[in-house]
Structure 1
Amino acid sequence: MNIHGLRLFYQVAKLGSFTKAAERMRISQPAVSSQIKKFEQEIGMSLFKQQGRSVVLTEFGEELTVKAENLFSLEDQIESFIEDYRQGEAGTIRIVATYLPANFLIPRWAATFKRKNENVNVMITTTNTKDAFEQLQHYKADIAIYGGGMSERPEEVVWDELFEDELWFVVAPNHPYANQSITLAEMVKEPFIMREEGSLMREHLFSLCHSHQLKPPKVALQFSGLNETIRSVMAGYGANFISSLVVREYVERQQLARVHVQDVHIKHKIAICTRQEEKQSLLVNKFIETCKNNH
């Protein structure tokens, strides 16, 4: 079917005039009449009939007008859809993140982004480091947002570091070590409340003890959740080794207190990761800029 012929017919039907349709389409009125006759011959149906001195739509022409209107309305929607994607105003961003940024950074970034980009669908998945990078490398995610050490960084990704996150020793405000400066040997004599074996902070702490040739601390309480470990320390028992992002507000409200351990300065990297040698879409770049401007 000749879509151009259908478009000319639709303009005549909508405007009620061959002359007005010609002006709208920027062609001559005889050209409009000629092409519509060819279109009628192609489809084998009459679109117009003579009624006195006027030309009106046939019954088939009236029904075809409705179908054509649906078609060209959908065409307009598709054009808008494509343009929105090109301009970064619609579409989907798939983000995979490790626990720390997913819980303490991305909610604010995503809310800021959505306020300015209501038509963009933002999908966020929280997972471990290995799975996060695998999803990125296998095109299941557009961005990986990572919080952790440099040793886990794959060579196949572009690493855009946002900032460094300090790891703190914390205790209850009434603990003898609260706000004090002590040695690591003194600190690890305290009972610790930590997450399960294999958790990143627990591995960092044990590795730190190993490098200083110290016996690791006793894990007196073990929880699968981070909030439970924090609240147990706040209740007045034991110590924790944890990201400053997680406990900074508790320390500022004096619900927890830092212990300044001498010669221990461990930091995590917070980074946005993308695939190597891949040009990012405007939409992805807009989200990355939001993260950079709001950390």
Structure 2
Amino acid sequence: MNLHALRIFYETAKAGSITGAAEVLRISQPAVTSQIKRFEKEIGMRLFAARGRGISLTDAGQKLLEYARKLFALEEEMEAFVDGYTSGRNGAIRLVSTYLPANFLLPAWVAKFKRDHEEVDFVITTTNSRGAFDSLLNYEAEIAVYGGAGERQPGIHWEELFEDELWFVVPVHHKYANEHITLAEIVKEPFIMREEGSSTREWLFSLCRVHNVSPPQIALQFNGLNETISAVMAGYGTNFISSLVVRDHVERGALARVYVKDILLKNIIAVCTRTDEVLSPPAERFIQMIKASVGAGQALP
């Protein structure tokens, strides 16, 4: 079916006259009449009947008008979707995050973005560092928000946002609370850590290898940050963790730092994407918003 001719029929039916359709379409009245006659011949239906000095729809024309109205309404929806998608106002963002940014950064970033982009949907998965990179490389996510030691992976583009310190923390009444000790001393304490594959756990073990000390005993293991912190605050064990996670607890006296001599490590917070891949407009907008927020010191703990 000739959609251009269908459009002329539709505008003529809406206007109720050849003259009205010609004005809307900005073509001559003879051109409208010619196109309608050709269209009627093409589809084998008479669509209009003369009515005094005007025209009226036949039964077939009335039925076709209903279909045309639905079709062109759908066309308008499609155009609005394309316009919104290319401008970053709608669509979906598939995002994977490690536990640190998922718990302490993403909620504020996503809320800020949604206030200006209500039609954009988020599909967010939280996992450890290894799982985040696998999801990105396997096309299960378009963006990975990473917090960890900064282990680079082939095929992944990094944009570092900022760094935060890694702290050793203990219960407030621990013998090493607020003390300055050596790495060899702190690793003799029982540790509460995340599961294998978490960047802080692997960084701690790497630290022990570099300084030629035995790795700590992992007395308790949790898959989440909050459970790990709660266990230490309850009075047992030592944790090696991002300052973003525990700063508030330390400042209000619920946890205590241990200052380990000659050890000053920093966590990298980064946005990762697949190398040389063009992002969808919503994803690009989201990353730009994150960078602008970090640059302005907003949406940070």
User: For each residue in 1:69-90, what CA deviation from the matched residue of structure 2 results, as whole angstroms up to 9, or x when unmatched?
Assistant: 1111111111111111111111
Deviates more, 1:141-150 or 1:71-80: 141-150
User: For each residue in 1:203-230, what CA deviation from the matched residue of structure 2 results, as whole angstroms up to 9, or x when unmatched?
Assistant: 3323323322223334344444433332
User: For each residue in 1:131-151, what CA deviation from the matched residue of structure 2 results, as whole angstroms up to 9, or x when unmatched?
Assistant: 32233233332112222223x
Deviates more, 1:207-216 or 1:112-121: 207-216
User: For each residue in 1:221-249, what CA deviation from the matched residue of structure 2 results, as whole angstroms up to 9, or x when unmatched?
Assistant: 44444333322221223321112122122
Deviates more, 1:101-110 or 1:183-192: 183-192
The residue aligned with 1:229 is 228
The residue aligned with 2:83 is 83
Gaps of 5+ in 1: none
Kept in 1: contact 2:16–2:55 (CA 8 A): no
The 2-side partners of 1:122 and 1:224 are apart by 23
Kept in 1: contact 2:171–2:256 (CA 8 A): yes
Change (3 A) 1:212 1:37: same
Kept in 1: contact 2:149–2:203 (CA 8 A): no
The residue aligned with 1:27 is 27
The 1-side partners of 2:222 and 2:156 are apart by 33
Q: How many residues matched?
A: 294
The 1-side partners of 2:195 and 2:127 are apart by 16
User: What is the TM-score normalised by the length of structure 2?
Assistant: 0.90
The residue aligned with 1:141 is 141
The residue aligned with 1:182 is 181
Change (3 A) 1:194 1:134: closer
The 2-side partners of 1:45 and 1:217 are apart by 85
1:216 aligned partner, one-letter code: P
Per-residue deviation at 1:197?
5.0
The residue aligned with 1:153 is 152
Alignment of 1:1-295 (within 5 A): 1-150=1-150, 152-196=151-195, 199-295=198-294
Per-residue deviation at 1:53?
4.1
Change (3 A) 1:125 1:253: same
Per-residue deviation at 1:196?
4.3
User: What is the TM-score normalised by the length of structure 1?
Assistant: 0.91
